[in-house]
Amino acid sequence: MIDEILATLMNVFRSNSMQIPLIQPIVDYLMQIPLINILVALILWRPFFAVVIMPGLAVLLLYLLYIVWFERKLTARIQWRVGPLEVARPIRGAIQALADGLRYFFQEAIVHRDAHRPYFVQLPILAFIPILLPIAFIPAGNAVGIKTPYAIQLIVAFLALIPITIIAIGWASNNRFAFVGSVREALMYVAYEIPFIIAVISMIYLYGSGDPYVAVEKQSLVPGAILNPIAFLVFLITMLMATSRLPFEIPEADQEIAFGPFVEYSGMLFGLVMVLAYEKLYIMTLLFVILFLGGWNGFYFEPLGDLNAPLCLFIKTVVVISIIAIVRSMYARYRIDQTLRYSFSWLIAFSMVALGIGVVLGWIL
Amino acid sequence: MKVEKISRSPIAELKRHVDVIQEAFKQALIPDRVTVEYPRERRIYPDNLRGFIVLDRSKCISCFRCAQICPANAIQMSLYDNFYPGVDYTKCIFCHFCVDSCPTGALASSNLHDMAFRSLEEMKVKATQMTRLPTIVREDKQSVEYFVTKKDWKLQRKKELEDISVLRIIPRIKPRRAFCEEPESCLGCRQCMEVCPHDAIVMERCEITLGGEVIGKGCILKVTEKCVGCGLCVRQCPMQILALKEVE
C-alpha cells in the first residue's frame, strides 16, 4: 500500500522535474537511496521548486539576509558613516541581519495589557499569506507553481490585501502611535493603489494578455521599460509608496511615530513584521522585472539547464532592489498631504497617459 | 550675498533630481568619508598636539614653577631625594603650561594622546611613573592622516605605523642667577635662605650705619655658584628686592 503511494508520488514528481545537467550525477546517485530519493524528487518537482526554492521561499530568506545588510551599508556609505561592521569583521559585517534575526528569535515577545491578544499575535503570521501567495503564481521559465493566464492580475490582487493586514496590526496594538500609523497606511493605500493598478493594466493591454509567459516572450527584443517608459516610472514610484520606503516612508516614520503600526511589537513578532515591507518589495520587484525588464530573458548556460530562468530572474530582481535601496539616502520624507496631492494629480495623470500608450502599442503590435 | 528665490519650474526640479541621484551614486562608489576605525587605525596628529607629560629627573631642579603655574592645580610635588612633580590626570586639562614654564626642559610632551586608567587612584601619576612612557598596547595596523584644504577633505591611509615617542623641546633660556637689587632694604628675615632648595644663599655679616652707609660686603645675602636660577627666593622675598639676572 505504502509502496504504491510512494511509487505514484515518484511518478508524479519525476514526470515534471527540473533538468539541471550540472548536478545530474549527484541526483542520480541520491535516487538510488530509498526515502532520500522521494525528497530529492520532491525538491526537483517544478511547482515545489518554484514556490519553495527559487524564486520562492529559500531565496527570499537569502535575499532578506542580504538586503537588510546591504541597505544599511549603502546608506551609511552615502552618509559618510561605516555601518554594521563588528559582526564578522573580515566580510565587513555581512551576517549582521542573521545576528539580528537570532536575537529577535530569543527575545521575549511582550503582549501588552491593552492589546487585543489573539489578533495581536495572529496578524503578523497571517500577514504572510497575502505575501507568500503571489509566489505560487510567479513563473520563472519552466519552474512555475500554478500556471494560469491571469497570473499578473492575481499577483496584483494579492498585493492589494497586504495593507489590510498592516492596518489590522495597528488596530490590534491599541496604541496611539500604531493608530496614527494605521490611518497613514490607509491613506497611502488610497494614494498608490489606483496609479499602480492602472500602470499594470496598461502593460497588460500592451502585451495583450495577463500571462507572464506572453509578456516575457514579447519583450525578447525590446524590454517593456522602453516600450512604455511612463508606466515604468509610475510603477517605480508606486512601488516606493507601497513598500513605505523613503521618500514615502509615511506609515512607519521613525522620527515621528516610531515605526507606526509596529510600535508595540518585540521579539520574534517584531522580526516578522519588520520584514513585511522587504518581502512586499521582493514580490513587487519580481512583477516589475517580468513586466518591464524582460523577466527571465537573459543568459543561457548549457550545464544549468532549467535553472537558468529562475537564476536570471532572481539576479535581475536583486540588482533592481539594490539600485532602489539608494533612494533611501537621497530624499527627505514627504508630508501626507503632499503625497496625496502628488499621487492624485501627477501620478494618476501619468498612469492615464501610460494606459493610452499601452492601448495604442497593443493595438499596433 | 542675496538669497535668490528657488525656481519651482518642472525643468529646475528635474535638474535637482538628477543632481541628487548623481551625487548619491558618486558617494556610493567612492565615498568622501573621513571616519577613522579607531583602535585598528591611529590618526596621525600634528607634532605640537599636547599629550602625556614626561619628566626627566636629572634635569629637574625642584623649582616648583610647574606646580605654581598649573591652572587646574593638578601638579603635586612630592619628596624623594628632592621634590619632583606628579600630575593628577583627573584634573589635568592638558594646557601644558608646566612644560612651557619649566626652565630646564625637564618636563616634555609626548605623542601619546589616548590614556586609560584602571581606577581613580591610578590617575594620580607619580614622578617615578612620569620618567618614562607607560606601557602601550598597540592594536593599530596602519596610520591615518587628514589632509584638509579649503576645497576638500581627504583621508590618506599609510601602511607604516606612527612612532610614539617623547618630544623634548628644550627651551632656549639663558642661565640666570638671583641677585639683590636693593641691599639696604633687606630685613634679614632669611626666608630666601630657607626656601632655597640648593642652599645657594648664604649669610654674611654686615652692618648698615644710620647714615645709610653699608659696611662690610654690602648685604647679608650672598648668592653662590650653586644657584640654578629657579626664582623661588624672588617669589618668597617679602620686600621684593630680589631679581633674576642673566649670567654672561
Q: Do A330 and B27 touch (CB under 8 A)?
A: no
- Tell me which fold the domain B176-246 belongs to: Alpha-Beta Plaits (3.30.70)
CA distance A182 to A261: 6
| Residue A332 touches partner B, C-beta closer than 8 Å | no
- The percentage of residues in chain A with a pLDDT greater than 70, rounded to a whole number, is 100
pLDDT tens for each residue of B147-189:
777 777 777 777 777 777 777 776 666 777 777 777 777 777 7
- Reported for A58-63, long-range contacts at CB under 8 A and 24+ positions apart, including other chains, are A59/A314, A60/A135, A60/A279, A60/A282, A63/A278, A63/A282, A63/A314, A63/A317, A63/A318, A63/A321
**Per DSSP, what are the bridge partners of residue B143?**
B42, B158
Q: Enumerate the domain spans of chain B.
A: 43-167, 176-246
B115 in contact with A, Cβ within 8 Å? no
pLDDT of B209-248, one tens digit each? 677 666 655 455 666 677 777 777 888 888 888 888 777 6
Give the alpha-carbon dihedral of B126, B127, B128, B134, to 10 degrees.
Answer: 70
Among A80, A81, A331, beta carbon nearest to B32 = A80
Q: Please check whether the two domains, B43-167 and B176-246, share a CATH topology.
A: yes
Task: Please report, as a single letter, which amino acid is at residue B47.
Answer: D
| Region B87-116 average pLDDT | 85
Q: What is the CATH number of domain B43-167?
A: 3.30.70.3270
In a mutational test of the B interface, the residue from A70, A73, A82, A324 whose CB has the highest number of chain B CBs within 10 Å is A82
CB contact under 8 A, A77 and B24: no
What is the pTM assigned to this prediction? 0.74
Q: Does B215 touch chain A (CB under 8 A)?
A: no
Using the structure block, give the residue that is written with the C-alpha cell 542675496.
Answer: B2
Residues of chain B found within 8 Å of residue A80, distances taken between Cβ atoms = 27, 31-35
Mutant choice from A70, A75, A80 vs B, greatest count of B C-beta within 10 A: A80
**Quick check: A81 contacting B, CB < 8 Å?**
yes
Q: Please give the mean pLDDT across all residues of chain A.
A: 85
State pLDDT tens for residues B104-127: 888 888 888 888 888 888 888 888
Query: Which residue type is seen at B190?
Result: R
B58 touches chain A (CB under 8 A): no
The answer to whether the CB atoms of A326 and B28 lie below 8 A apart is yes
Name the β-bridge partners of B147.
Answer: B154
Q: Is A269 helix (H, G, I), strand (E, B) or coil?
A: helix
B207 pLDDT band, cuts 50/70/90, is: low
In this complex, is the C-beta atom of B31 within 8 Å of any C-beta atom belonging to chain A? yes
| Cβ-defined contact of A326 to B33 (cutoff 8 Å) | no
- pLDDT for res B222: 64
The Cβ of residue A270 has, within 10 Å, a number of other Cβ atoms equal to 19
Record: contact B35-A74, CB cut-off 8 A: no
- pLDDT category of residue B18 using cuts at 50, 70 and 90: very high
User: What pLDDT sits at residue B212?
Assistant: 67
Contacts of A177 (CB under 8 A, 6+ apart): A257, A258, A260, A263
